[in-house]
Amino acid sequence: MNQKQKHLEKLRAVIRLKHFSLSTERTYLLWVSKFWDHARTLPAEMPREKKVESFLTTMARRGCAASTQNQAFNAIVFFFKSALEQPLGDIRALRAKRPAVHRIAPTRQQTIELLNAVRDQGGYPTRLIARLLYGCGLRVCEPLNLRIKDVDLENSRLLLWETKGGKCRTVAIPCSLADDIRAQIKVARAVWERDIRARLPVAMPGLLARKYPSRAMAWTWAWLFPAHAPCRDPRTGTLVRWRCHEANVQRAVKEAAAKVGLAGLITPHNLRHAYGTHVADAGANMRDLQSALGHKSLETTMGYVHSNGLRVLSPLDAAV
């Protein structure tokens, strides 16, 4: 194993120790690998900060998006600080500019038309999932990560764990979806019973499967939206039951958007934007909306509230 591979394995170990997601692990390893290859083309005596600046500046000059460059920067900073325990000093690189983004939220009528056009995709209840995205203001992966223990129909709430930023929150279940969720629980129960007979565990977060082996076979930890077929856990190699993949939801919403004349304009995440906008327009408390959306900052929540200058009355009309 060469030096690059040793450092990447050390980075992988630290990421898993901190229970980062698999997507974060893959992303950080990718950017650190690219940085390593770039640094090898630079003089050995060059300070590491200058090497990082060179890498980031090269990315900016190639026209990468600001979010892409920031992702690479965060991965490299984490590598030096947490894996090598050698925090970087001041970094002064050419940074890609982040354009002002106007979040698109479909109108209420567009949203209803879209949801009515969504069809189940690949044998999965993507119609129900799309309604949860809008009805609860969820990110696309959040309903898919639900386990049976997270569904509290008695109190009409969903418990969301380890969402973006490692935060947890509770959201209300729309009354109109209660019966559909009950039906989906029965489907999940049938899958779980087959897995129990086959001794097939569900995928577990972090090291819970090793610490509490029985939970991987418990009904409470079964997925609400289980995948049709088992797969290999990419970290352990164990054959497990995973949950429905995001691609099924994305494809279902994409096809529905094309049917109602909104092709290329509406994605699953736009349904979350619509939730924020429509709830705010109905007069919801912004702090409550912040909690429902799981935002750390109220300023972030305000970004989902779409202003309309046409609602402002002219003072001239009031004066005449």
Q: Which two tokens stand for residue 237?
A: 């190699």
Distance from C-alpha of 69 to C-alpha of 82, rounded to nearest angstrom: 20
46 is a domain residue: yes
Per the structure, the count of domains in the chain is 2
Which residues fall within 8 angstroms of residue 236, CB to CB, at 6 or more apart? 209
pLDDT band at 220 (very low <50, low <70, confident <90, very high): very high
- The Cα-based distances of 160 to 146, 151, 247, 252, 278 in angstroms read 7, 9, 20, 23, 22
317 is a domain residue: no
Mean of the pLDDT values across residues 174-188? 96
Task: For residue 179, count other CB atoms closer than 10 A to its CB.
Answer: 10
Judgement on whether residues 151 and 194 belong to the same structural domain of the protein? yes
* DSSP H helical ranges for 40-123: 48-61, 66-78, 108-117
User: What are the tens digits of pLDDT across the range 270-305?
Assistant: 999 999 989 888 888 888 888 888 888 888 777 766
Count of positions (residues) in the chain: 320
Judgement on whether residues 246 and 175 belong to the same structural domain of the protein? yes
Query: In terms of residue numbers, what domain contains 43?
Result: 3-83
Judgement on whether residues 240 and 289 belong to the same structural domain of the protein? yes
Judgement on whether residues 63 and 122 belong to the same structural domain of the protein? no
Which residues fall within 8 angstroms of residue 149, CB to CB, at 6 or more apart? 159, 220, 221
Q: Which two tokens stand for residue 85?
A: 């325990």
Q: What is the 3-state secondary structure (H, E, C) of 142-172?
A: HHHCCEHHHEECCCCEEEECCCHHHCCEEEE
> Residue 301: its pLDDT value, please?
78
Judgement on whether residues 122 and 44 belong to the same structural domain of the protein? no
129 is a domain residue: yes
Q: Looking at the annotation, which residues are catalytic?
A: 139, 164, 269, 272, 295, 304
pTM equals: 0.80
Q: What CATH number does residue 202 fall under? A: 1.10.443.10
54 is a domain residue: yes
319 is a domain residue: no
Judgement on whether residues 174 and 265 belong to the same structural domain of the protein? yes
Q: What is the mean pLDDT of the chain?
A: 89
Of the residues 50, 83, 116, the one at which a domain ends: 83
User: What are the tens digits of pLDDT across the range 57-107?
Assistant: 999 888 888 889 999 999 999 999 999 999 998 888 777 766 655 566 889
